[in-house]
C-alpha cells in the first residue's frame, strides 16, 4: 500500500475516474465536488512525480508496483 502513495499513475487514474463519475452526475454541487476531487488527485500525482524524482529517494521505493509484481512473477534465469 505505501508504494501507491508514491505512484503518480495511481493518483492520475483516480483523477480520471473522478472526472468520469463527475460527467455522469446531474446535481451541480455534487458535480463540482467530484471535479474538485479530480483536481486534488492530479495534485497528488504531481507531488508523487516530484518525490520520485528526488535523488535521495531509495531505489527500491522508486520501482513501480507493476514492475515489482512482474519481477516476482517471472522465473529467475
- At 19-77, the pLDDT tens digits run 999 999 999 999 999 999 999 999 999 998 888 787 665 555 555 554 444 433 444 44
C-alpha dihedral sign at 61, 57, 1, 50: negative
CB 52, CB 67: distance < 8 Å:
no
**Boundaries of every domain in the chain:** 2-54
Digit-coded pLDDT (tens) for 10-28: 999 999 999 999 999 999 9
Q: Indicate yes or no: pTM above 0.85.
A: no
Amino acid at each position: 500500500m505505501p508504494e501507491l502513495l508514491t505512484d503518480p499513475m495511481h493518483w492520475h487514474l483516480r483523477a480520471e475516474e473522478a472526472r468520469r463519475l463527475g460527467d455522469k452526475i446531474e446535481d451541480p454541487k455534487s458535480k463540482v465536488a467530484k471535479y474538485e476531487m479530480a483536481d486534488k488527485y492530479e495534485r497528488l500525482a504531481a507531488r508523487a512525480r516530484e518525490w520520485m524524482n528526488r535523488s535521495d529517494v531509495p531505489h527500491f521505493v522508486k520501482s513501480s508496483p507493476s514492475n515489482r509484481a512482474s519481477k516476482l512473477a517471472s522465473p529467475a534465469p
